[in-house]
Each structure stands twice: as C-alpha cells, then as structure tokens.
Chain A
Amino acid sequence: MELQKVVIKVPVSAGALDLNAIGAEFTKWIQNSSLPGVLIDVADYSHMFEGPGVILVAHEYIFSLDQQDGFNGLKVAYRLNSDEPLAQRFKQGLDLVRSGIALLKQANIEIEFSEDQCWLGVADRLNETSDTHEQLFTAAKVAFGDKVTCLKKSESKALAMIKVRLS
C-alpha cells in the first residue's frame, strides 16, 4: 500500500502573523466556498505555543496557518486515503496550498510565503518504513521535476516529512 494522508506546508517568509485576520478569512472561504471540498468549520488555537494556529476543517482535509515545527506556514493535511499515486497527491496538495496563498493575497493579508520551497510528508505510520524519506523525495521529483532538491528531513518520532526546494 502506498503512503497515505499527504501533508504539505509552505513556509511564511515575511509579514506579521495575524491569526485573527486569517481566521476571519477562513470564515469567508466557507461562506464563499472558495476552496474545493466540503468545508465545515474554523477553529482558533492561537492560545497554543507553536500550535496549529488557526484551522479550516473540511471533510477531505484540514487547512491551517500552522505554527508547529518551529516555523509558520500554510499547511494542508489530507484526512482521506487515496488510490492516486503519491506524486499526484503532492501536486494536488500543493495546488490547494497555492490557492490558499492566492486567496490571502487577494484579501490583502500582509503575509508572504517562500513559494519556491515546501515541506512534504505523510501522516501514515502504518506504512512508514526506514526508507519513507526516500520515498517522499522520489515522489516529489516525479511530481515537481528533477530540479527538486531535498533540504532537510524531519526528526524521529515526528511525522515523516522532507523540506524541498522546488526549483
């Protein structure tokens, strides 16, 4: 079985992080059905230290302005297993995050992202093996081309993720 439940996070590069303003935007996204999927609710975790920040819960995924792992970023974590190849799911996930970035720009939220890099991973300890990081990198190259370089790997115990430069 292929690795399941894809996670993608694009780092914030500049701008003060105003979770309250982003929560308001997420609320509008539900009103306007701005993202694909069944959008359900917004939850605020700004009281947590390096927590999930503010999240938009959909049936298919959880979207967040996430503060975990020591950096802020726009993140999508898929909740459903999929028959699609991992590389294809990475592409879909990154497209979704990019849609979010575009919506935040349209809303004049003062925040910038390092769109040339991202963290890619899986929330799937069932199918995790010693070469999971390698599998992630292979899928990343299939998804985004051979120019992709691996910058960093996640620590043990944390979700299996790799940080990649996309071009």
Chain B
Amino acid sequence: MPDAKAWRDKLETKLVPQIAENIHQFESQMQLKKQGKVSDTLFAESRLRLGLYGQRYDNGHRFDGVQARQIEFPNPYTKGHETHWDAPGMVRIKIPKGEVFPDQLDLMANLSEEYADGVSHISTRQDIQLHFIRIEDTPSLMLRLAAVGITTQDACGNSVRNVTTSPETGVEEGEVFNVDPYATAIFRFLLGHPDTMEFGRKFKISFSGKESNASGLTNMNDMGFLAKKQMVDGAERLGFKVLVGGGLGAVPHDAKVLYDFLPLEKILPVSQAVCRIFSRLGEKKNRALARVKFLVAKIGVEKFKDMVEEELKTMRHDPRWEALIQNLEVTEEHPKTLASIARKGEDAEFNTWMDFNVRQQKQAGYYLVTVQVPLGDLTPKQMRGIAELARVRASDSVRLTVDQNVVLRYVSGSDLVHVFNELKRLGLGEGCSGSIQDMTACPGTDTCKLGTSSSRGLAFGLQKHLQSKGKLRPEIEKLKIKMSGCFNSCGQHHLADIGFYGVARKKDGRDVPHFQVELGGRWSQEEGSYGLPITAVTSKSIPALVDKLTDYYSQNRKGDENFYEFIKRIGKKEAKDLLEEFKEIPDYDVAPEYYSDWYDHRPYSTGDKGIGECAGEVVSLFEFEIGKAERLYFDGQVALDEGQALQAIDLGTAAMVAAAGALVKVQNKDIHEKAEVLKEFKLRYEGKGLFSANFMRYLYQAIESTRAANVENARQTLQEAQLFIEEVHASRDRAAAALETK
C-alpha cells in the first residue's frame, strides 16, 4: 500500500498519533491476513470496527438476470467468511451528532470521487457512507479522514455506534439545554473503550434536548439521554432522564426509564456500567436476541438498574468521568451575517420552500434550513456547494439528520433568498422537507447483503409518482413514508405513518418483490408509536396503494384526526380489507414488470442475499489482544528488514507485553497500563505452572535489560517474542482443556 505510506508522510503533522497508529495496525493486519496468519473472524470484526463493511455480492455470487454467476475476483484472499478480498465494500464514516464542518465535507467529496462511485450517502444514524470501495484503498482513505478530525472507528461491528442528537440542539426554542457537548463527551469516552470490546451486538446511543422533539429518537435507542432540569435544595440542577433497552429492528422495543433524573457528572460512569453489564450478560450466540433490549426485557429494568448500581460500586474510578464533563467541548458557532427577520416574497417556489424547509431558531433573526437530499445521496459538487454555503452564509457546524437530510444553522433571514437560489443551482432546492415526498430509505438491495427488496427503488418510484400528482391535500402532505429493504428496520419503517419493509413471494415458480405494509407509526418520543403490520403487497402496486389509502384517509377522517388516530380507529381489519387488492399478483404474461424490482433490469431473485455483517463477529477480548501482539511482532519484523534494529527490539518487547496482557486482561478488564499488565502477569502466572518459566524469562529480560541496538539483538528479541506469543496461545489452550476436563 504505497499510497498509504505517501499519505501518512504528507499528512504527518495533522494526524493524532494514536489514530495513525490504529490505521497502521490495520495495514499490518491486512498483510498478515494475506499471509493467512489472521482468522477470517478476527479480521472481519477488526475491519468492521473500523467502519469497513461488506457489500452485496462480496461472496462472489450474483444472479446476472439469466444465470447465477461466480464473480472471478483476481485475488484468492478473503476479508471475512465467504467475503472476497477484492469485492467492493462500504466505508461508514462516523459523524458524531451528525456534525460536520466545511473542510470535512470537501474532503469527503474528494474521497467519493477518488475511491468510490462519486456518491456520499447520508445514513439514518447521521453517518456518511461511501460504496464500492476497494479494501486496498481504505488505509489511505482513513488517514485522510483522520487528518481532518474524523474517525471511522466503531462505525460498524459489535461496538458503540455513532452517537446521534437532534440537529436542532442548541438553537431550538424550548429545549432544556444544549445536549451537544455531552454527546461529544460520551462519544470520546466510549470510543474504543475496553469495556465495549466484548459486546454480542451493536450498541446505540442518542441524545435529545427536548421531549416533544422526536428527531433525537431517544426512545428507540439502546441508551437514550433526554435533557432534564430538577430543583435540588432550591437550586436548579441539570441532568438527563436516561432510557435503556429501546430499539427498532425486527422486534421494536420502547426504551425503559433507567433513571428519571441522572446528574450530568454521572452520565459517563453509568454508561460505562451499562456497557459492562451488556458485555457480560448480553446474548452472544443467538444474534437475533443479542441487543440490550432483550436483556432488559428478560431481567426487567428494575433489576437492570440494581445491577448498574452494583457495577458502579465495583468499577475503578476513571478521572475522565469528571474531566470530560468539566471540560466540555462546545462548538462555537459564528453566524456570517447579522440577524435579520425573514420575509416571504413574490416567488411561490421560494415561499413553499420557506414553509417546509425553514424554521426559526431561538436566536432571533436566525433560521435552520433543511436541505432535502433525495435518498440521502450527494454528489461531490453538492457536498462542496453545501460546504461553501456554510462558510459564507451559515454556521460552520452543518448537521446530517436521521432522516437523511442536511441542516444549515444560523442562516440570517436576509440570506435566505441567496441560500435558496444556491441550493436550487445545486439541485437541492426542493421545498418539501418533512412532507410525504421526503422519504427515508435504507440501502436495501442496492448494496446491502441482507436486502430482500429495493427500498431505494421504491422510494424513488413513489416520489416520482407523488410529484406527478401536483399539489396534495394538506393532511396527506404531512404524512411520513419510510421503507426498509428487509425487516431489520434500518429505514425506520416502524416510525412512519406508512411504513414498508421488503419481503418476497412466489408465483408460478417465479420470485416477486413485495413489501410488508405497516400503518400508523409515529415519529414521536412517546410510547406505543410503532406501526401496525397489515399485509404484504406487491412492490409495483405500491403507488396505487398509497393513492387509495390516502384518499380513503382524506374522505373518512373525523375532524382533525391524524393518520395514527385514524388507523387506530378503523383497526387492522378495515385497513387490511382496503389493501386486499394489492396482494394480487398478476400473471407473468400479463404484467412481467411485477416480477422485477424497481430500477433493476434483472428478473427479481432472492438468491443474491448474503449473510449480513450488521451483527459483526463475536470476537473475544483474548483474540483482540493476541491479535495486537501479533501485529506488533509483524511490525518488528518489518523494522528489522528495514535495518531499524532499535525499533525492532522495542516492537518485539511490546509484542510480548501485549501477549501477556491478552492473558491477564481476560481475567481483569480494568488492566490497561504496561506496569499493571506486568504486575498481574507475575502475580497470576509466576510459579503457578501455568506458563513456561523459560518463555516468561524472555519477557523480563526484554523489559529489564537494555539491549544494544544491533541486528543480532533485534533478531533475538523477535525470536523470543514469537516463542512467547506461542506460549501464550498454548497456556490459553491448556487452561481451556483443564476447564473442559472439570
């Protein structure tokens, strides 16, 4: 990977050493994987934790429309189970709180041109995703992101995923307080935290500053923080209502209240305690039951809370608990133009855009502008255009939203016409944010290995259909439509007035794309707001279904009844009867279009589905730690080959310490520092017959003696390191065998 080395040299002064080191370690691991020295499981989880996700067809199988074919990728290596090394993949770029700055937008535009297909996709967790990426390009890509302060670490895999917040936080009328810096603190604290290394599944956190604003979705996350004030001894105190065990997925769960009020200074230790409990007690074998929501449901929130309290007592104090809260990172936002009250004009298009896409901030004379992004996809030119608008007409703090749009903050009323015209020039001037035409869709069969039907295709097809109908009635215009390519709910279909998720049916031996319809979900913080599953319908009939359903709603609603209330009143049976005709699959000879998916020219087939990587791989702490030791050893060999004797000795020694750490950390996760590792290793292994005394001596010699920096000593240290690592494996195996015998 010569490019990565060149980028590292070029960007050296801009890189945080630890981040650069993590990327370098991944490069080493790539080399070791090619040499067959790292397992598929370990490599897959390592790359997932760096945001490097698999993509559809990476198992090398694809139905081309005529026959199922093997894609003949050139390299024989794999990057996971049944995952070809050369198969294009997705990179998920973690954007904490969805907050992104102009230079970062420019950089991501460049990356999409150089490494991807020229498209930056906004995910439903405020990330940016690039598709069709070669794994060989990922170290360069990650280094370039790191140079502008962005990491992909923990973007996928069984880790703490992107921390989300409302895009309005800090500027919204009526919010309790600005939750933004607390979300930053928790992101920094849990990023790569040792207590998050052994999860059985992913863990999602969300913040919101205002209960009535749904965009934080605190009720639908593994852990949600809702800003709250409380009077204590006559003084106002800030904190959070803390929720736990919420989530969408195939089986949605409302979060339960863990703390009705948790003071600010407690949020980090409590989060850590929840992670430790999830890590220890969460399901590891059955992925379908491995999220926190199942654990909370199983043991009850009261018991879960007791466990959190107990855990807090046993945890070693971490000075970062206070430091990160006392020294909050607050984004200072500087508007570029003086505040000014907005006014509508003569232009009807502008006025409509004002109605749908512009909201007043609590700071008088400043406005939030929602840029509606079709299917969350942006071209490089659009990314740069938004960056430029932020530089000259808004705050530098641009927000990506969970409904796949972009929000500009601190736009002065006097700049709105300019911003509108500029967005129109970029093809982003649609004035229907938050309306029925502003749909949310996950990647579905376009790129996701789990997709059953084309959610993006359906969204675009339906959007075009609705646009062709002209002005819609106000009660219909307000409805929300969301779709997912499968039951996993990445498109948040449970929360929509009209939700769809992909399923398949057969007729006369042919596969037919379908969507399950869910009605009456709500984009709200309140409980019981998930949609009611009604029935599965053919994908191609959905535009007609939406017409019939919305007409029926308009004609039969009582007073100001909203769609949720309407569906609740008419009930599942009446709704099902209404949709009955859309279950009908016409014969192939009559309507062949029903047998292919939206914007896909192949006959529809479910044969392309692969094994998803949403769940990540369950990799033990031991495997992670021993993997680290092996990478250090490998780097030592490279240094020796390059004549860097001193560096090779240091790396060989570090490899032995890391390997010893692998053994002791599985027994005590609170051990992090080198001195602690050595102390614990001595305590637990010396004279116990559990570890060869000869190999143990290698470690102590390397630590205690200062070997002259020559090639001979370097070679010897590395040989000893290799033997030491082997003995760590053997010791671990012996302990496991002894346990089995018992």
Contacts and interface: CB of A to CB of B under 8 A. Distances in A.
A59 B132 CA distance: 9
A165 interface: no
Interface string A143-162: 00000000000000111000
B333 interface: no
B118 A68 contact: yes
A33 to B, nearest CB: 10
A158 B71 contact: no
Contacts of B110: 125
B117 A126 contact: no
B381 interface: yes
Given A44-B457, A124-B114, A50 B379 contact: yes
B475 interface: no
A68 B381 contact: yes
Nearest to B4: A126
B601 A40 contact: no
B86 A47 contact: no
Contact of A59 (B86, B106, B600): B86
A2 B602 CA distance: 40
Contact of B374 (A5, A23, A47, A157): A47
Nearest to B460: A47
Given A51-B118, A57-B117, A27 B88 contact: no
B267 to A, nearest CB: 40
A126 B132 CA distance: 20
A134 interface: no
Contacts of B119: 45, 48, 51-52
B377 A45 contact: yes
Interface in A1-55: 1, 5, 20, 23-24, 27, 30-31, 38, 40-52, 55
Interface stretch (B57-65, B565-573, B680-688): B57-65
A79 interface: yes
Contact of B73 (A38, A45, A157): A38
Contacts of B56: 41
Interface string B27-53: 000000000000000000000000000
Contacts of A77: 118
A159 B117 contact: no
Contact of A43 (B6, B62, B446): B446
A81 interface: yes
B546 interface: no
A103 interface: no
B74 interface: yes
A27 B597 CA distance: 14
Given A27-B65, A126-B10, A47 B601 contact: no
B72 interface: yes
Contacts of A50: 379, 381, 427
Contacts of B2: 1
Contacts of B71: 38, 40
Interface string B335-376: 000000000000000000000000000000000000000110
Contacts of B310: none
B72 A31 contact: no
A123 interface: yes
A77 B71 CA distance: 20
Given A50-B379, A59-B86, A157 B74 contact: no
Contacts of A24: 601
B384 interface: yes
Contacts of A44: 457, 599-600
B132 A47 contact: no
A62 interface: yes
B585 interface: no
Contacts of B428: 49
A48 B457 contact: no
A36 to B, nearest CB: 12
A49 B113 contact: no
B374 A48 contact: yes
A49 B446 contact: no
Interface string A76-112: 0101110000000000000000000000000000000
B211 to A, nearest CB: 35
Interface string B75-115: 00000000000111000000000000000001001100111
Given A31-B65, A68-B381, A52 B114 contact: no
Contact of A157 (B57, B106, B140, B600): B106
A31 B62 contact: no
Given A52-B118, A157-B384, A159-B113, A31 B74 contact: no
A43 B72 CA distance: 19
B132 A62 contact: yes
User: Interface centre among B117, B140, B446, B457, by most A CB within 10 Å?
Assistant: B117
A55 B117 contact: yes
A125 B88 contact: no
B601 A23 contact: yes
B703 interface: no
A123 B114 contact: yes
B232 interface: no
Given A47-B374, A50-B381, A126-B6, A40 B65 contact: no
A77 B602 CA distance: 25
B285 to A, nearest CB: 33
A158 to B, nearest CB: 7
A48 B122 CA distance: 13
Contacts of B106: 157
A52 B117 contact: yes
B3 interface: yes
B601 A27 contact: yes
A134 B716 CA distance: 53
A24 B578 CA distance: 35
B88 A57 contact: yes
Nearest to B426: A49
Nearest to B373: A48
A165 B214 CA distance: 55
A45 B447 CA distance: 13
B374 A43 contact: no
Contacts of B57: 40-41
Contacts of A55: 117
A21 B10 CA distance: 44
A51 B88 contact: no
Contacts of A157: 106, 109, 384
Given A27-B601, A62-B132, A158 B380 contact: yes
B66 interface: yes
A127 to B, nearest CB: 8
Interface of B: 2-3, 6-7, 10, 56-57, 62, 64-66, 71-74, 86-88, 106, 109-110, 113-115, 117-119, 131-132, 134, 140, 374-375, 377, 379-382, 384, 426-428, 446-447, 456-457, 460, 463, 599-602
Given A27-B65, A57-B132, 11 more contacts: A5-B114, A30-B65, A44-B600, A50-B381, A51-B379, A52-B117, A59-B88, A126-B3, A126-B6, A126-B7, A159-B113
24 contacts: A20-B599, A23-B599, A27-B64, A31-B66, A41-B62, A42-B600, A43-B131, A43-B446, A43-B447, A45-B377, A47-B375, A48-B427, A49-B428, A50-B379, A50-B381, A51-B119, A52-B379, A57-B117, A59-B73, A59-B88, A79-B115, A81-B3, A123-B114, A126-B6
Interface of A: 1, 5, 20, 23-24, 27, 30-31, 38, 40-52, 55, 57, 59, 62, 64, 68-69, 77, 79-81, 123-126, 157-159
